[in-house]
Amino acid sequence: MPRLIISDQFLMWSKLFVLWSILSYGITADPLPEDTDGVTFKWQTWRWAMLLRIVVAAVLSYWICHSVIVSAWLATLSSLSSGQALSKCRPGHSVQTLVAKRLVTVYPHPCMHPGSIVSYPTALLWPSAKRPRLLLLTALLSLTPAAVSAQQSHKDANAGLDPIRSYISAGWNTLSRSLSDCATFSDTKLTTEPQLYLPADFPVPESVKQLETRCKIQVKSLPPSAGHLGANAAGSIDPPGLLYLENRYVVPGGRFNEMYGWDSYFIIVGLLRDGRLDLARDMVNNFLFEVEHYGAVLNANRTYYLTRSQPPFLTSMILGVYGAQKAAGHEDRKWLEKAYQLAVKDHSLWVAEPHLAGSTGLSRYFDFGDGPAPESVKDETGHYREVVAFILAHPEVDQSLVVRKGPGQSASPSAGSTYSLQVCDVVRTMAKTDCTVAAGVALSADFYKGDRSMRESGYDISFRFGPYGAGTHHFAPVCLNSLLYKEEKDLEEFSKILGRKEDAEQWHKRAEQRKAAIQKYLWNSERGLFVDYDFVHQAQSSYDYVTTFFPLWAGIASPEQAQALVKHLTTFEQPGGLVMSPYETGGQWDSPYAWAPDQLIADEGLRKYGFNKEADRVSYEFLSTVAENFRRDGTIREKYNAVTRSSETQVTAGYHMNIVGFGWTNGVFLELLHELPAEMVQKLANEQGSSSASTH
């Protein structure tokens, strides 16, 4: 509540008024009638004394009212300033500044300037020449309730959102991992005993040696081949385990107990928004360590991820932390120099074979490994069997994705399981059904390559690149190439900061070349959408996907293309935000699900091109969905059903859980909230408060 401020001036004039009232009472009492000769004299004395009393009382009343208005103004200003002290003289909000500018023309305190408010004013000395402005101040005060309301609403909004903000703030700690915590080594995706692997020729720190006894883990060194991504590196490591990182990091939550590549960008965005620069920098340093010692930013820091990366956000992370450090007065160009060199090394992964998308000049997702993804075998029970059944039941699907093996034939050439294809009688009675094995069926090596590459894309599982993502490695994706364009522009900026003029020119040239290729292959002018490109069949995809907004975020689209894209919001917009696609496939990265990272990419892309109204509407839909479900169960999840606005999901392809945590949803919530107009934040807070009250 705004506190009552009473100025010393008010107290002084009030005391004088009371004192005068007491002293003047005797000479202004009614005349007594006992002495008729003195009545006239007493009456005249009383009349003049009463007149004097009235005049003095009027003067005192004027000054009391004068000081009351000052007190009221200062109380108003104090509430706007959230209690900033005059002695600090700190700048305030825009409404406070407006009022303070008006006040300073009447109250020339030596430290009173726009944006500094006195909490307990003393010695209010108003120059006589400026006293007529008191009336103007009073009028202005009557015109400021809306401004006061706006600032108070901001406070109320913060209060209404306190529970979810507290959850997120606490989550940065509960989701943090370091080698000092034995829980860091747990991996529910596998059944093997915990292992910790250090880079080849990396000295074993004393603290790590102690872990073997304290956490009951085995500490080993990687083979030299593990210094870069490749099938040989990962295949030679048995049993699999955690890869060493020097600093703390935040994990997504649940089964994801590692530091993930693209998840971490959205986590870092949230950390920086929440003032956790230390932890954000630790995570970026971990990624630089990965590039230096493991060859690239990894899908996550487990040995079975040494075959693939994830969507490249490294330069965006570096830029975020560098900018935050600079804003805090701690610009670190030496750190930026090291980060730049390692970012260049990481970028090189995407612009060389096998990550090139044919002759398009664009890039693709590609996993170096073969066979089933190790993390899927235990955690996604029956997934590959369901894929086989789907392909066989849909003749229009490429049948080369399965390999048939007749009786007596050798084992499947793929590294995956073989499934039995049987012919059975139709069940008509309770008797046991007789079946005859017709053939053995397995998924092809090319299917597993596509499946693994889909996991490098981060969009697992979707039908965007064919059923179950089987053709991922045959496409030049919109998302990947937009991110690489953004990286090249970031590297150009880093080069300029570091005085590398030639480097800056080269990065500018490469970015422009990629932009031209994106415009050539990925823009569909007839439909007004950016789409993925199948470079094997030399055809654009017809699969509408929310990544069409990535070129807005990266700054690739022209204003006309942006206008066309906005018209397609209706393709994806649902009551709970933007769905991944308009197609229900059973995959969690298709309809009806909305995911935090793509909400933020679309939101920031729309705002970059001036579509703030649309961005406000869509982001509010997602924010209110997250908040509504938080009110119900007190958790934040990895994804939401955008149609029903619920965290209840019915995924049938891949793992079926909706993980609690959740790292990137937490970060995106804070950033979307920050970008939302104050009145919409208040609306969201009011929904929080009213719903909470109704449940008690």
Q: Which pLDDT score is estimated for 190? A: 83
Pair 457, 411: CB distance under 8 Å: no
How confident is the model at residue 248, as a pLDDT? 97
Distance CA 104, CA 88 (A): 17
Compute the distance between CA of residue 519 and CA of residue 516 in angstroms, rounded to an integer. 5
- Torsion, Cα 635 668 250 259, to 10 degrees, reads 110
Annotated catalytic, 621? no
Question: Taken in order 320, 285, 602, 656, is the CA torsion positive or negative?
Answer: negative
What pLDDT does residue 16 have? Answer: 61
The three-class DSSP label of residue 449 is helix
Using a pLDDT cut of 90, give the percent of the chain over it: 64
Q: Over 80: is that where the pLDDT of 515 sits?
A: yes
In the set 375, 456, 544, 638, the catalytic residue is: 638
**Can you tell me the distance from the alpha carbon of 658 to that of 651, in angstroms, rounded to the nearest whole number?**
9
Q: What is the pLDDT of residue 691?
A: 59
Who has greater pLDDT, 302 or 115? 302
Mean pLDDT, residues 423-451: 89
Residue 156: C-alpha distances to residues 48, 92, 141, 682 (Å): 56, 18, 22, 7
pLDDT at 377 over 80: no
Helix ranges restricted to H, 368-435 = 374-379, 383-393
Q: How sure is the predictor about 112, in pLDDT bands with cuts at 50, 70 and 90?
A: very low
Q: What is the pLDDT of residue 162?
A: 95
Structural domain spans, the chain: 8-143
Helices (H) and strands (E) counted in the chain, each on its own, are: 24, 17
- Residue (of 639, 229, 284, 666) closest to 456 by Cα position: 229
Task: Please list, residue by residue across 669-688, b when 16 or more beta carbons sit within 10 angstroms of its beta carbon and e when fewer do.
Answer: bbbbbebbeeebbbbbbebb
Q: Give, rounded to a whole angstrom, the gap between the first and last alpha carbons of the chain.
A: 23
Confidence of residue 408 (pLDDT cuts 50, 70, 90): low
Strands 242-243, 195-198: pairing kind: parallel
Given 258, 460, 532, 621, which residue is catalytic? Answer: 460
Ramachandran category for residue 123: left, alpha or beta (phi over 0 → left; psi -120 to 50 → alpha): left
Q: Which of 251-260, 320-329, 402-411, 635-644 is predicted with the least confidence, judged by mean pLDDT?
A: 402-411
Contact 670, 664 (CB under 8 A): no
Nearest CA among 587, 581, 527, 530 for reference residue 553: 530
Write down the residue that tokens 């509430």 correspond to: 79
Mean pLDDT of 197-209: 92
| DSSP bridge partners of 646 | 641
Helix (H, G, I), strand (E, B) or coil at 53: helix
d(CA 213, CA 198): 17
On the question of pLDDT at 678 being above 60, the answer is yes
Chain segment 121-144, per-residue pLDDT in tens? 333 344 455 445 545 544 444 445
Which amino acid is located at 634 in the chain?
Answer: G
Model confidence at 59: pLDDT above 80? no
Rounded Cα–Cα distance for residues 5 and 3 (Å): 6
Q: Cβ contacts of residue 572 below 8 Å, gap of 6+?
A: 544, 546, 578, 579, 580, 581, 582
pLDDT, one tens digit per residue, over 538-574 is 999 999 999 999 999 999 999 999 999 999 999 999 9
Q: Is 404 left (phi over 0), alpha (psi -120 to 50) or beta?
A: beta
Q: Which residue has the tokens 């899908």?
A: 299
Average pLDDT over every residue of 355-367: 98
Question: Mean of the per-residue pLDDT values for the chain?
Answer: 83
Instruction: Say whether pLDDT at 320 is over 90.
Output: yes
Give the mean pLDDT of 616-633.
97
Predicted local distance difference test score (pLDDT) of residue 93: 40
* pLDDT score for 559: 98
Q: What is the pLDDT of residues 236-281, one digit of tens each?
A: 798 999 999 999 999 999 999 999 999 999 999 999 999 999 999 9
More confident residue, 249 or 381: 249
> What letter would DSSP give residue 435?
E
460 flagged as catalytic: yes
- Cα(171)–Cα(182) distance, rounded to whole angstroms? 18
pLDDT of residue 611: 98
Query: From CA 367, how far away is CA 375, in angstroms rounded?
Result: 14
CA torsion sign, 245 to 247 to 248 to 249? negative
pLDDT (0 to 100) of residue 410: 63
In this predicted structure, the answer to whether residue 11 has a pLDDT above a threshold of 90 is: no
> 22-39 burial by CB neighbour count: b if 16+ within 10 A, else e?
eebeeebeebeeeeeeee
Number of C-beta neighbours around residue 545 at 10 A = 29
